[in-house]
């Protein structure tokens, strides 16, 4: 029994294709493993004036700039940093506003502030223009007192505190 002709041609085509692929792979591998020839760089001869120009450029080059960190931000000057700190820092006031009272004397109203000074452990009742803890009272408004010390201003506000809960038995 003989093999039909189309099958013989197909087997031969597969063998030839495999042979071409294997030879191509071997040639590519041989080419990839070859050393790369070194490039020849021609020597440059400089005149003395050109050397002098290069020396001047090299001296004026700030090499320290290449050593600087890339992502560091510049520091603020002291005067600007101090001004920013003064703006952001809250005033140091140790007083606590306990209450604001209103006296109705002679048809007018005089407001007074009850201020607790924890440093002295005292409770002072003061009006506008008086001072406590180095701070002068500029104005007393309903719910807040405004202080002044030099160019600095501070405001103390009354807190909305609820009275403490009393726990005990409920009578029935």
Q: Render 85-144 in DSSP notation, one character per residue.
A: HHHHSPP----EEEEEEEEEETTEEEEEEEEEETTTTEEEEE-TT-EETTEEEEEEETTE
Residue 62 domain-assigned (yes or no): no
Q: How many CB atoms lie within 10 A of CB 116?
A: 16
| Gap between the Cα atoms of 10 and 29, Å rounded | 29
pLDDT over 90 percentage in the chain: 13
* Number of other residues whose CB lies within 10 A of the CB of residue 109: 9
Q: Residue 26: its pLDDT value, please?
A: 95
Q: Which residue has the tokens 């409920």?
A: 170
pLDDT-derived band at 166 (thresholds 50, 70, 90) equals low
Lowest-confidence pick of 55-64, 82-91, 162-171:
162-171
Summarize pLDDT for 115-152 with one digit per residue, the tens: 888 888 888 889 899 988 788 999 998 888 999 988 88
Provide the pLDDT for residue 74.
63
What is the SS3 assignment for 11? helix
Q: What is the pTM of this model?
A: 0.41
Question: Is residue 158 over pLDDT 90?
Answer: no
**Averaged pLDDT, 92-111:** 79
Closest CA to 121 of 97, 147, 95: 95
Residue 46, in any domain of the structure: no
Q: Is residue 75 part of a domain?
A: no
Q: Residue 36 falls within a domain, yes or no?
A: no
Residue 45 token pair: 């001869």
In this structure, is residue 107 part of a structural domain? yes
How does 121-140 read in b/e, with b if 16+ C-beta sit within 10 Å? eeebebeeeeebbebebeeb
Per-residue pLDDT tens digits for 109-120:
788 898 888 888
Does 3 map to a domain? no
Task: Check: CB of residue 96 under 8 Å from CB of residue 144.
Answer: no
pLDDT-derived band at 163 (thresholds 50, 70, 90) equals low
Domain with 147 in it: 96-157
Domain count, the chain: 1
Confidence check: pLDDT of 162 > 90: no
Please tell me the distance from the alpha carbon of residue 139 to that of residue 111, in angstroms, as a whole number.
Answer: 9
Rounded average pLDDT over 42-52: 80
Is the model more confident about 115 or about 103?
115
In a domain, 47, yes or no: no
d(CA 141, CA 44): 86
User: Is there a domain that residue 122 lies in?
Assistant: yes
Confidence check: pLDDT of 102 > 60: yes
């Amino acid at each position: 029994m003989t093999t039909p002709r189309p099958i013989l041609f197909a087997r031969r085509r597969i063998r030839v294709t495999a042979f071409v692929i294997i030879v191509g792979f071997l040639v590519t591998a041989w080419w990839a493993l070859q050393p790369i020839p070194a490039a020849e760089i021609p020597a440059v001869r400089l005149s003395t004036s050109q050397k002098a120009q290069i020396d001047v450029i090299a001296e004026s080059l700030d090499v320290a700039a290449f050593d600087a960190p890339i992502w560091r931000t510049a520091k603020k000057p002291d005067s600007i940093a101090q001004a920013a700190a003064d703006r952001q820092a809250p005033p140091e006031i140790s007083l606590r506003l306990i209450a604001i009272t209103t006296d109705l004397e002679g048809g007018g109203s005089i407001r007074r502030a009850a201020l607790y000074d924890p440093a002295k452990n005292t409770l002072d009742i003061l009006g506008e223009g008086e001072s406590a803890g180095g701070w002068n009272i500029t104005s007393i408004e309903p719910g807040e007192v405004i202080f002044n010390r030099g160019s600095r201003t501070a405001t103390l506000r009354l807190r909305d505190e609820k009275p403490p809960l009393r726990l005990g038995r409920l009578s029935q």
